[in-house]
């Protein structure tokens, strides 16, 4: 197991290039199941979650080849329909295989993803929608077994917007009989990226990026070539890091349009931000002002940047309030931040933060993907010898070379093996 060591106190300077979006690449890989052929994907990030998705899909008989930075996905021969527990337990996004398998083969058996560190995360909306489309679903021995002759279009209204739920049902609907209308859909850029891939495959989809998506089922699809959008959460993490460390960095290969909510909050905190085309510059303020945030589905402030923003508020001037409305347990980083000197009180889904002049280095433990990033950010500004972030396997699920990118921006940060 690895740990990350940080000697804090250096302002970040220079340029960083953002990788492809994990949460777009995962459903897009799953979409390759929908039709036989050779799909070509650009900008697929090198992450453990992507490896897990490829390992499950390889069990179905799908082959992968890397050629000149591209990923070729050969879905000509599919031999299996089962996503086993030992792989699904490490990555909840495996549920994204349910829609495409049902659409292409009329059957799937997928281990039921359990709860995870940030909340219970049920999948009832996925299952209810597939049932409305004619699937017969049963839950036995920890597995979801789904059967359908031909899925049929349906009118589906999600109780609350669900990102993977919207994606799963979009994929189930592209070859269903008739029209599917999804209301109260998720509007995240990753949903739009999947819709773009599906249109490239010949699907008839309209309204993605709004709360009503209309899908007219088509008889068949074709293979496609697609470039995955850049990771807005990775870009956002660097933006916060620049502001926190009083740095001055340029973030390349990102999509400023997808980061409006964060830009607005960072400007209120005193950062200077400019952007054009696919690049954002962030200069940190001398004094970080306190700013309240509330996580909301896109285009609101993303839950996936809440922990990182809280890390910055720990050294802001005055009091701030962070409200988490998406996941019920996404404050587990708080006890680790407190070990570094943060003053945070939790009351239900609200965290009240009293900014401190300084955080202090300490050994801390990552509890989930975004919590890992939050602790690294805290380490970048911590006073003292060194911060050690343990259980870094969480980080490797969703950030490509994060510590190398920070090092290139001037941070004193490296990875070490933990010898037990």
d(CA 293, CA 307): 11
The C-alpha R_g of the chain, in whole angstroms, comes to 21
Residue 131: which H helix or E strand, with range? helix 124-132
- Could you say which of 32, 116, 255, 314 is catalytic? 116
Report the interface residues with ligand EPU, using CB under 6 A: 23, 26, 93, 119, 121-126, 160, 162-165, 186, 190, 303-304, 326-327, 369-370, 398
Q: Which is nearer to ligand EPU, 93 or 251 (CB)?
A: 93
Angstrom distance (rounded) from CA 401 to CA 414: 11
Give the angle subtended at the CA of 178 by the CAs of 32 and 164, to the nearest 5°. 45
Beta-carbon contacts of residue 122 (< 8 Å; ≥ 6 apart): none
Cα–Cα distances in angstroms (integers) from residue 310 to residues 112, 242, 295, 327, in the given order: 32, 14, 12, 15
Task: Report the residue number, 158 or 406, with the smaller CB distance to ligand EPU.
Answer: 158
Q: Kindly state the smallest distance separating residue 217's Cβ from ligand EPU, in Å.
A: 23
Q: Which residues contact 104 (CB under 8 A, 6 or more apart)?
A: 33, 34, 35, 78, 175
Least distance from C-beta 129 to ligand EPU, angstroms? Answer: 9
Assess whether 374 carries a catalytic annotation. no
Of residues 39 and 370, the one with the C-beta less far from ligand EPU: 370
- Angstrom distance (rounded) from CA 132 to CA 127: 9
Instruction: Give me the DSSP letters along 53-90.
Output: HHHHHHHTT-EEEEETTEEEEE-S-----EE-HHHHTT
Please identify which residue in the block is written with the tokens 């470039």: 227
Query: Which one, 271 or 375, has the nearer CB to ligand EPU?
Result: 375
Of 380, 400, 308, 385, nearest to 17 (Cα)?
400
Where are the extended beta strands (E) located within 98-152? 107-111, 136-140, 143-147
Nearer to ligand EPU, 156 or 176 (CB): 156
Least distance from ligand EPU to the Cβ atom of residue 188, Å? 6
Residue closer to ligand EPU, measured from CB, 163 or 362: 163
Which of 8, 398 has the CB closer to ligand EPU? 398
Residue 215 makes CB contacts below 8 A (sequence gap 6+) with 153, 170, 173, 174, 176, 179, 180, 181, 182, 203, 204, 205
Tokens representing 356? 């401190």
Least distance from C-beta 311 to ligand EPU, angstroms? Answer: 15
Shortest distance (Å) from residue 323 CB to ligand EPU: 14
| CB 124, min distance to ligand EPU, A | 5
**What amino acid positions are annotated as catalytic residues?**
116
């Amino acid at each position: 197991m690895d740990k990350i060591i940080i000697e804090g106190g250096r302002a970040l300077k220079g340029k960083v290039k953002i990788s492809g979006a994990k949460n777009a690449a995962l459903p897009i890989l799953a979409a390759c199941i929908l039709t036989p052929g050779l799909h070509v994907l650009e900008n697929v990030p090198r992450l453990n979650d992507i490896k897990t998705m490829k390992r499950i899909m390889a069990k179905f008989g799908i082959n992968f080849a890397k050629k000149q930075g591209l990923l070729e996905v050969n879905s000509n021969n599919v031999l299996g329909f089962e996503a086993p527990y030992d792989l699904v337990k490490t990555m909840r996004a495996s549920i994204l295989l349910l829609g495409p398998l049902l659409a292409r083969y009329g059957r799937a058996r997928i281990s039921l993803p359990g709860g995870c560190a940030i909340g219970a995360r049920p999948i009832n909306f996925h299952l209810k929608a597939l049932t409305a489309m004619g699937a017969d679903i049963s839950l036995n021995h920890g597995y979801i077994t789904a059967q359908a002759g031909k899925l049929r279009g349906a009118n589906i209204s999600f109780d609350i917007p669900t990102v993977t739920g919207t994606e799963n049902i979009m994929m189930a609907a592209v070859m269903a009989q008739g029209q599917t209308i999804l209301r109260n859909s998720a509007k995240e850029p990753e949903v739009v990226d999947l819709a773009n891939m599906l249109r490239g495959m010949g699907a008839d989809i309209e309204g993605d990026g709004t709360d009503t998506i209309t899908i007219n089922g088509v008889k068949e699809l074709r293979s496609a070539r697609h470039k995955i959008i850049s990771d807005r959460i990775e870009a956002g993490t660097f933006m916060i890091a620049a502001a926190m460390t009083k740095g001055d960095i340029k973030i390349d290969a990102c999509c400023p349009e997808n980061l409006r909510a964060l830009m607005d909050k960072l400007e209120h905190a005193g950062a200077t931000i400019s952007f054009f085309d696919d690049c954002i510059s962030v200069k940190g303020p001398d004094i970080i002002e306190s700013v309240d945030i509330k996580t909301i589905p896109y285009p609101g402030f993303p839950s996936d940047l809440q922990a990182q923003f809280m890390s910055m508020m720990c050294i802001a001037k005055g009091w701030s309030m962070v409200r988490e409305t998406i996941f019920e347990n996404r404050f587990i980083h708080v006890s680790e931040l407190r070990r570094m000197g943060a003053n945070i009180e939790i009351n239900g889904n609200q965290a009240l933060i009293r900014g401190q002049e300084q955080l202090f280095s300490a050994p801390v433990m990552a509890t989930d993907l975004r919590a890992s990033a939050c602790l690294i950010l805290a380490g970048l500004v911590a006073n003292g010898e060194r911060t050690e972030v343990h259980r870094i396997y969480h980080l490797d699920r969703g950030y490509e070379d994060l510590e190398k990118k920070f090092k290139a921006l001037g941070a004193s940060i490296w990875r070490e093996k933990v010898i037990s």
